[in-house]
């Protein structure tokens, strides 16, 4: 394989990771703009200023065991769009599919599967 072909292959492999990181950054910005941090906290740890007033505590997004509706990105998108049944999480139907997916990308980037959310 030529050097040029090797470089192209490396760039092609890195492109999806860069796209995911960019999407997660947009999601983090939308998360802040849409008020998600009020309950979930700025770092998604379930420690926002309104968290103490809620009957059910908001998710700590790092802890994949705490996701009642699934921790896959598609599950997170569904939770954002529909809210949580019997929970305090409202449905965010005014978000576009792309916006909900961007926020979900950021939330999924916070997950710590091996530690259950413990640092």
Which SS3 state, helix, strand or coil, does residue 61 take? coil
**Residue 7 domain-assigned?**
no
Q: What is each CA distance from 22 to 15, 46, 61, in whole angstroms?
A: 11, 24, 19
Whether residue 111 contacts residue 71, with contact meaning beta carbons closer than 8 Å, is answered with: yes
Q: CB burial class (10 A; 0-12, 13-18, 19+) of residue 39?
A: buried
Q: Within 10 A of 41 (CB to CB), how many other CB atoms are there?
A: 18
**Residue 35 domain-assigned?**
yes
| Residue-level pLDDT at 4 | 47
pLDDT tens per residue across all 119 residues of the chain: 565 455 444 445 444 556 678 999 999 999 999 999 999 999 999 999 999 999 888 999 999 998 988 999 999 999 999 998 877 899 999 999 999 999 999 999 999 876 554 44
| Residue-level pLDDT at 10 | 43
75: containing domain? 16-109
Report how many domains make up the chain. 1
**Residue 62 domain-assigned?**
yes
**Residue 68 domain-assigned?**
yes
**Residue 2 domain-assigned?**
no
**Residue 114 domain-assigned?**
no
Whether residue 89 contacts residue 78, with contact meaning beta carbons closer than 8 Å, is answered with: no
CATH number for the domain harbouring residue 86: 1.10.760.10
**Residue 97 domain-assigned?**
yes
**Residue 118 domain-assigned?**
no
């Amino acid at each position: 394989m030529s050097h040029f072909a090797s470089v192209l292959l490396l760039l092609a492999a890195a492109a999806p990771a860069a796209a995911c990181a960019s999407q997660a950054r947009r999601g983090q910005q939308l998360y802040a703009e849409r008020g998600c941090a009020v309950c979930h906290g700025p770092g998604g740890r379930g420690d926002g200023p309104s968290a103490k007033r809620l009957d059910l505590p908001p998710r700590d997004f790092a802890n994949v065991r705490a996701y009642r509706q699934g921790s896959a990105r598609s599950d997170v998108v569904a939770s954002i769009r529909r809210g949580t049944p019997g929970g305090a999480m409202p449905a965010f139907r005014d978000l576009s599919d792309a916006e909900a997916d961007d926020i979900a990308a950021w939330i999924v980037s916070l997950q710590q599967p091996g530690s259950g959310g413990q640092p």
